[in-house]
Homo-oligomer: A and B are copies of this chain.
Amino acid sequence: MTSFSFDKLVIFGVGLIGGSLARALRERAGAARVGRIVGVSRSRASAERARELGVVDEVAALDDDGELRAALAGADLVLLAAPVAQTLPLLRRIAQFLGTDTIVTDAGSTKSDVVAAARAALAERAAQFVPGHPIAGRESSGVEAALPDLYVGRNVVLCPLPENRAQDVARIEALWRVTGAIVSTMTHEQHDRVFASVSHLPHLLSFALVECILNAPDAALKFSFAAGGFRDFTRIAASSPEMWRDVCLANRHALVDELDCYVTVLARLRAAIVAEDGAALEAVFARSREARTQWQERGGQAAAPAGLAPK
């Protein structure tokens, strides 16, 4: 395992994700390996809250050229942990102040759009940008919810660019490994297909079920008899509409592919129901149950398959 240390880490957006990384590094890396942590936000006030809580050492406002230049001067690492739709404007904003030795990474839940943003904003300096995605629960938000243990046992996916330097990628891997995360690498296309399938599509389907019931003339009656199955299935329909709008648009190509695949499966099941083909239905249900049960028994996530094993 690579030893990991830094002199200066700059975090853009000190909320649950960025704040938890800062707290994890302080508590888990050992004081000798942790330098200054600077929090940058749109307004100085919200970064100040992170300093009051001891999550960051210094703060800077994004719209102040002097503060931003000072924040980025001599930075080893930059983490973008603002909403993913802000990636392009953020990268455009910091490009002019970015040192040639600074490695930039992000925490966005889609990656192809982030890679496109990095190439657009940084051009040939996109080589300094290592795209990343920590997969961590987000029921709560804000720096007050930040936890030093948020990433323990969680997956972090890196999607290195061909032009990234191997040592920079290794450094970002080491950064996340200090937090207790399991780090994997894949291409940004693979990443977006995987998360379209196991995360973005289920959210869309869950929102769609509630919408479907709302559109029914007997909606009130239906909601009044909804029980445990509905509760579990629609828990994610209480997620942030803004965030999921952005995710659906950012990952629209992979999401539409997965949705089309899903609708094909529904058409097959519909045909089996209409034909009263109980054997076909039972075969699908039994296969699904077995796969779901095995997934659960592996602790809710499988070992990464060969070739993508955590390093």
Please report A residues at the B interface, Cβ cutoff 8 Å: 135, 137, 155, 157, 184, 186, 190, 193-195, 197-199, 201-216, 218, 220-242, 244-246, 248-249, 252, 255-256, 258-263, 265-266, 269-270, 273-274, 276, 278, 281-282, 284-289, 291-293, 295-296, 300-305, 308
Q: Report yes or no: A135 in contact with B249, Cβ–Cβ below 8 A.
A: no
**Contacts A216-B261, A221-B308, A287-B211 given: A230-B273 contact, CB under 8 Å?**
no
Q: Which of B155, B197, B225, B262 is A227 in contact with, Cβ under 8 Å?
A: B155
Residues of B contacting A135 with CB < 8 Å? 225, 227
Q: Is the CB of A229 within 8 A of B203?
A: yes
Copies of the chain in the assembly: 2
Q: Let me know if A211 and B265 touch, CB within 8 A.
A: yes
A194's partner among B157, B225, B278, B301 (CB-CB below 8 A) is B225
A238 contacts B293, CB within 8 Å?
yes
| A224, B245: Cα distance in complex, Å | 25
CB-CB under 8 A from A282, the residues of chain B are: 241-242, 245
Q: Which B residues lie within 8 Å of A246 (CB)? A: 278
Nearest Cβ on chain B to A242's Cβ, whole angstroms: 6
Report A29 CB to chain B, min CB distance, Å: 25
Option from B184, B229, B255, B278 in Cβ contact (under 8 Å) with A236: B229
What is the distance, in angstroms, from A243's C-beta to the closest C-beta of chain B? Answer: 9
Contact A198 B211 (CB under 8 A): no
Q: Which residues of B contact A239 (CB under 8 A)?
A: 285, 289
